[in-house]
Amino acid sequence: MMPLPAIDLLATAALREEVMLTPKPGLVDSRNNGAHRDMDLALFMQSITAIAPWFGRFAALGERCADMPAQRVLAEIRPTGLACEQAMFAATGGVNTHKGGVFSLGLLCAAGGRLAGRGQALTRRGLCADVAAICARLVATELAGRRKPATVGERLYLRHGLTGARGEAAGGFATVRRYALPAWDRLSAAGADRETALLHCLLVLMAHNPDTNLVSRGGLDGLQFVRRYARRLLDEGWRPRALEDMDRALIGRNLSPGGSADLLAVTAVLARFPA
Ligand SMILES: CC(C)(COP(=O)(O)OP(=O)(O)OC[C@H]1O[C@@H](n2cnc3c(N)ncnc32)[C@H](O[C@H]2O[C@H](COP(=O)(O)OP(=O)(O)OP(=O)(O)O)[C@@H](O)[C@H]2O)[C@@H]1O)[C@@H](O)C(=O)NCCC(=O)NCCS
Ligand SMILES: Nc1ncnc2[nH]cnc12
């Protein structure tokens, strides 16, 4: 059994694999820029190159915080997260390519460092439980307690009660664990190729994930449109051509499921580990 690459290398590889996966409805890929005027494949690759070294820092920080109570860890790693975000913005000329990806995958790398620091094997359950413990108070402290929203996510919480990336992390990536990973395991066991399994997982995520990007661009109707479309393809079966049709439909509505794209990268990392 080959030893697993370190979780920080898996996170970087997952971001590259996600953006190269094609055809992804509404998202940047090797075929087009989806519903985006301000970013393309080259910019995403520049963003990933800038972010990559920071995943190792998250993991090293996690190892140093291995014995710290989980609820204190976020304050320890947030400055690194914000610095990583700044490195991303410097590389992209201020375009938000991976803000959510930095948050979700940074937490996963920090959790991996904490488990390793405690001499524990990295498992899907252990990684997700530690992320949930680190983020347990995040929604209450950063969303519920805020009156003046500073970001899209905070505005959508006040307006619709959507918790976005924070809620997904506080739930230990529940959408990934309940829907995407079972789909991945089922397709992999059935012999599906990796690209087909990833595209299927993206549809599963789009069908279930309350993606704040979709709501900020198209309101709750936009989110519902994408969820229903994804569920129909999952029910009827899909071919790449059907995804190209869905891509045209989302572009026509300026809809981009960026949150689900991030969770696909989270799925690709967790899929490497035993349950
Ligand atoms: C904790 C923060 C990251 C929270 O930020 P915010 O208050 O903005 O909260 P969210 O709305 O939750 O959005 C953050 C990004 O997370 C992705 N996302 C959205 N919904 C979900 C979900 N349900 N589950 C998981 N992830 C979700 C999404 O990111 C992706 O989409 C962005 C690109 O799409 P685009 O439409 O282009 O976005 P914009 O440019 O903003 O819109 P346009 O102008 O183009 O129309 C890209 O970010 C993808 O990654 C959401 O955007 C933050 O406050 C924070 O703390 N950051 C610091 C990092 C940190 O703390 N790290 C510490 C842990 S190591
Ligand atoms: N491929 C992609 N296109 C648009 N937004 C994204 N956010 C993360 N991955 C993305």
pLDDT tens digits, residue range 59-98?
A: 999 999 999 999 999 999 999 999 999 999 999 999 999 9
How many other C-beta atoms are found inside a 10 Å radius of the C-beta of residue 232? Answer: 14
Q: Give the ligand with the smallest distance to the CA of 15.
A: 2
Residue whose CA lies nearest to ligand 1 atom number 31: 258
pLDDT for 187 beyond 70: yes
How many other C-beta atoms are found inside a 10 Å radius of the C-beta of residue 117? Answer: 17
How high is the pLDDT of residue 158?
95
CA of 218 to the centre of ligand 1 (A): 16
The Cα-based distances of 132 to 43, 135, 170, 221 in angstroms read 31, 5, 4, 29
Q: Average pLDDT, whole number, for the chain?
A: 97
Q: Which two tokens stand for residue 164?
A: 């976005």
Tell me if 208 CB under 6 Å of ligand 1. Answer: no
Residue whose CA lies nearest to ligand 1 atom number 40: 96
pTM above 0.90, yes or no: yes
Tell me if 257 CB under 6 Å of ligand 1. Answer: no
Q: Number of helices (H) and strands (E), helices first, in the chain?
A: 14, 0
Residue 44 near residue 19 (C-beta atoms within 8 A): yes
Instruction: Tell me the pLDDT tens digit for each residue of 230-267.
Output: 999 999 999 999 999 999 999 999 999 999 999 999 99
Q: In testing the pocket of ligand 2, which one of 43, 85, 206, 256 has its CB within 8 Å of the most ligand atoms?
A: 256
Q: How confident is the model at residue 166 (pLDDT cuts 50, 70, 90)?
A: very high
Q: ipTM score here?
A: 0.93
Residue 163 near residue 139 (C-beta atoms within 8 A): yes
